[in-house]
Amino acid sequence: MPVEHDSGGAAEAAPGSREGRPAARPLWGKLLDQTRCIGCHACTTACKSENEVPVGVTRTYVKSVDIGTFPTARRAFQVTRCNQCQDAPCVTACPTGAMYQRPDGIVDFNKSICIGCKACIAACPYDAIFINPDDHSAEKCNFCAHRLDIGLEPACVVVCPTEAIIVGDLRDPSSRIAQLVNRAPVSVRRPEKETRPKVFYRGADQATLDPLAARRPSGGIFAWSQQTGPVVSGHPHAPASSAEALLSYDIGHSRPWGWRVSLYTWTKGLAAGAYLVPLLLVTVGRLDAAGALWRWCAPLLAIAFLGVTGALLISDLKHPWRFPLIFLRPQLRSWLVRGAAVITAYGGLLAVHLLMSLVVGGGASRWLGIAGGPLAAMTAIYTAFLFAQAKARDLWQSPLLPAHLFVQALLAGAAVTLLVAELVSSGAVAPTEWVLGGAALAHLLLMLSEVTLTHGTTHAHLAVREMTRGIYAAPFWAGMALAAVAVAAPLIGPVAVPAALLGLLAYEHAYVQAAQSVPLA
């Protein structure tokens, strides 16, 4: 597999070059020769010792798969670690630049500015990043950059008894790694993700490279070095066959984003919809702009749910006190940063709306909808772009997700607006019921599309299976049934409100968690 050689970068002495001889900045790569690997785990222990990796997590480990049946069975190994992507999704997703790419191509990390948002973990297609349980910051293999910088090889290279691990400069055509990568058959993991990994495998079996190629043992009993939850490697539903590939050693991995993120998508939809629905009614002339529903209730409800959303986001961080770094040193490509800016601008507009309602009246605040509508809509849908940066999660790559999140905001907003309209604006009740019913119908159809449409990848298909027939089937089908009840809002009135809100919450939880349930390594 040829390597794209980039001649850019300043000329400087590269580590390991002859003294006094100028050289281009190196581009570090690694070759893992699985024809030599004996599965001794020396690289794992050396890495733990060199980098003080605590028990329970690991920067690198050796996965093994038993292939075939007796008497032709064999065991294949794969050294598993960060792939040092040239186009690293973790770097793009990190909101503070704690994950960054050095000029020599190494994807490194700065723990002092990590906020523990786990966006890098969600983005990594190789399941190579973890939260250190001691310091609560993200880390991974970084090629022992501190050793390379002083002319030493990484710890794993030094201890490998068979010289199965080779590190070198991919830009140097005379280096051993460049010669092997450019002349011998090599593979990379998950090339379809287009991350351009700089970790190459020689002689690796597809049963180890593909996290779904090998079958997970029935009952989930095999030699995991850790087991943290239901998300593990291996195909969970692969049938046994005569040419079976069966996992014999692997590491279990958990979902990076838990119930708080599921709940955040729900409260954020409420915060956006509580403003969007009254604005829609005012725009079409079905709600008086001078009434209490538009002047006071809409902005107050939106601010309240926006506050809950912010609290959920901050509480989900491993370093919540570092949250201001999103604004103080933002990495602008991250949709966590862009989303924080959208939410802040939306919150500011809601505050202005309340102030104008107090000082001027409803007629003036009506014109805020020109800016408030787009900000509320972006508050609803920006999570689609945030999820899209999680390149590891194929279910979240749907082009329909922005539209679905907008529909969900209308559904949630219509439900809370209907409750308030019953108290302060009886004339808005009927049109709100129709908005609620229409949004519920659109939401129901989009939910059905997840079940009926063909998904482009095996990972997305398995995520849908977990959502509809696996561990998240109960909340998914409950959400669908309750959405069907909410469609009848024009007939049943406020009875549809709890059905809409609870059904939406159940669906959000199933969707967010199922997408993270497919093994990546």
Q: What is the pLDDT of residue 5?
A: 33
Residue 346 pLDDT more than 60? yes
- Cβ contacts of residue 245 below 8 Å, gap of 6+? 65, 66, 67, 205, 207, 213, 214, 215
Distance CA 153, CA 163 (A): 12
For 113-152, write each residue's pLDDT tens digit: 999 999 999 999 999 999 999 999 999 999 999 999 999 9
Domains of the chain plus CATH, in order, are 23-220+234-249 (3.30.70.20), 259-514 (1.20.1630.10)
Distance CA 82, CA 103 (A): 17
Closest CA to 164 of 255, 276, 38, 63: 38
Residue 220 pLDDT more than 60? no
For 71-119, write each residue's pLDDT tens digit: 888 889 999 999 999 999 999 999 999 999 999 999 999 999 999 999 9
Q: Give the lowest-confidence range in 12-21, 191-200, 276-285.
A: 12-21
Q: What is the pLDDT of residue 520?
A: 85
For 391-428, write each residue's pLDDT tens digit: 889 999 999 999 999 999 999 999 999 999 989 988 99
The secondary structure of residue 235, as a DSSP letter, is B
Distance CA 70, CA 77 (A): 18
Residue 232 pLDDT more than 70? no
Distance CA 438, CA 283 (A): 17
Average of per-residue pLDDT across 158-175: 95
Q: How confident is the model at residue 19 (pLDDT cuts 50, 70, 90)?
A: very low
Q: Please report, for residues 29, 60, 73, the alpha-carbon distance to residue 155 in angstroms, rounded to integers and kept in the order given.
A: 15, 11, 32
Q: What is the pLDDT of residue 52?
A: 95
Closest CA to 317 of 109, 111, 118, 121: 118
Q: Phi/psi class of residue 87: alpha, beta or left (left: φ > 0; alpha: ψ in -120 to 50)?
A: beta
Q: pLDDT exceeding 70 applies to what percent of the chain?
A: 90
Closest CA to 258 of 173, 131, 153, 365: 131
Write the DSSP string, 310-360: HHHHHHTSSSGGGTTHHHHS--TT-HHHHHHHHHHHHHHHHHHHHHHHHHT
- Cβ contacts of residue 444 below 8 Å, gap of 6+? 480, 483, 484, 487
362 in helix, strand or coil?
Answer: helix
Residue 29 pLDDT more than 50? yes
Q: What is the pLDDT of residue 13?
A: 35
Q: Is the peptide bond before 71 cis (omega within 30 degrees of 0)?
A: yes
Q: How confident is the model at residue 253 (pLDDT cuts 50, 70, 90)?
A: confident
Q: What is the pLDDT of residue 240?
A: 61
Strand partners, 107: 101
The predicted model scores a pTM of 0.90
Residue 15 pLDDT more than 70? no
Mean pLDDT of the chain, nearest integer? 89
Q: What is the pLDDT of residue 451?
A: 83
Residue 390 pLDDT more than 80? yes
Residue 6 pLDDT more than 50? no
Q: What is the pLDDT of residue 185?
A: 92
Q: What is the pLDDT of residue 467?
A: 94
Residue 448 pLDDT more than 90? yes
Q: What is the pLDDT of residue 33?
A: 95
Q: What is the pLDDT of residue 495?
A: 93
Check residues 365 and 207 and name the one with the higher pLDDT: 207
Q: Please report, for residues 197, 242, 253, 385, the alpha-carbon distance to residue 89 in angstroms, rounded to integers and kept in the order given.
A: 11, 38, 19, 13
Check residues 354 and 69 and name the one with the higher pLDDT: 354
Q: How confident is the model at residue 70 (pLDDT cuts 50, 70, 90)?
A: confident
The CA-CA-CA angle for residues 215, 216, 219, to 5°, reads 135
Q: What is the pLDDT of residue 230?
A: 57
Average of per-residue pLDDT across 500-506: 97
Closest CA to 510 of 255, 304, 197, 150: 255
3-state DSSP percent of the chain in helix, strand and coil, to 5: 50, 10, 40
- Give the chain's radius of gyration (CA, Å): 26
Q: How confident is the model at residue 361 (pLDDT cuts 50, 70, 90)?
A: low
Residue 99 · residue 138 · CB < 8 Å: yes
Residue 252 pLDDT more than 60? yes
- Secondary structure element (H or E) that encloses residue 147, with its range: helix 145-148
Check residues 5 and 406 and name the one with the higher pLDDT: 406
